[in-house]
Amino acid sequence: MANAVVLLSGGLDSATALAICRDAGFDAYALSFRYGQRHQIELEAAASVAAALGAAEHLIADIDLRRLGGSALTADIEVPKDRDTDAMAAGGIPVTYVPARNTLFLSFALAWAEVLEASDLYIGVNALDYSGYPDCRPEFIAAFEHMANLATAAGVEGRQQLRINAPLINLTKAEIIQQGTALGVDYGLTSSCYDPDDQGRPCGHCDSCLLRARGFAEAGLQDPLLQRFAEPY
């Protein structure tokens, strides 16, 4: 079996990406980050998801982005609530954007992939029902893949080319949920909220909660996370 590194935030999208990676036959090395996010509860979700989907290993790396600031997820900036999901994409880059986060996370994954001699990286970015983040677009992923193959020993020595897989990039949230459900993902283990309480109860009002709720509604499915909390929304 070949090795793949999977970025796993603990959210719905990355859990689905992990399931797709496993379904493709890879030994999956799941990678999460403690980066100073206010929703650090997602790391517990990531551990549960990694175990449930049979990851070969789950590594939580520390990269503290709070010193840099610039985002509602890592600094003392309020998380926007109750925005219109249809208008999100048109609203530009929201304050929950973390500068260069996906670049940094993919770079760390690249380092681990090199050590593991992994041929593939998986990232659950999504360009349709996204929140306007520049580093979730197909052209960014393609540029990263090109750069990665010049950056590493494997690329230089011609041993292998590294693929950056973004299998959700052109799916709607509803399609992601349907695909993950078919692959046996338990979305009750995941955590999407940008601003959960100490128990991980989602706020129900941030962009991420709203997109998740809309996705389940459009998929015609119940969100199993609702069963874990009596009054989540």
Of 85 and 149, which CB lies nearer to a second copy in the complex structure?
149
Footprint of a second copy on 115-134 (CB under 8 A) = 115, 134
Burial label, 64 (beta-carbon count in 10 A; 0-12, 13-18, 19+): exposed
CB of 45 to a second copy, least distance (A): 21
CA distance 40 to 10: 10
With binding defined as CB under 8 A, does residue 158 bind a second copy?
Answer: no
CA distance 226 to 206: 16
24, 52, 128, 151: which one binds a second copy (CB under 8 A): 151
24, 56, 77, 111: which one binds a second copy (CB under 8 A): 111
Could you count the other beta carbons within 10 Å of the beta carbon of residue 99? 14
Tell me, by CB under 8 A, how many residues bind a second copy.
45
Determine the Cα angle at 33 with ends 171 and 118, to 5°: 70
| Alpha carbon distance, N-terminus to C-terminus of the chain | 42
Of 142 and 182, which CB lies nearer to a second copy in the complex structure?
142
With binding defined as CB under 8 A, does residue 139 bind a second copy?
Answer: yes
Closest listed residue to residue 145, CA positions, set 116, 172, 122, 115 = 122
CB of 174 to a second copy, least distance (A): 26
Of 110 and 166, which CB lies nearer to a second copy in the complex structure?
110
Binding span for a second copy by CB under 8 A among 118-126, 135-143, 174-182, 201-209: 135-143
With binding defined as CB under 8 A, does residue 155 bind a second copy?
Answer: yes
Structure tokens at 61: 């790396």
H-run or E-run covering 33: strand 27-34
Strands 163-165 and 120-122: parallel
Q: Which residues bind a second copy (CB under 8 A)?
A: 59, 61-65, 67-70, 92-93, 97-104, 106-108, 110-112, 114-115, 134-135, 137, 139-140, 143-144, 146-148, 150-153, 155-157
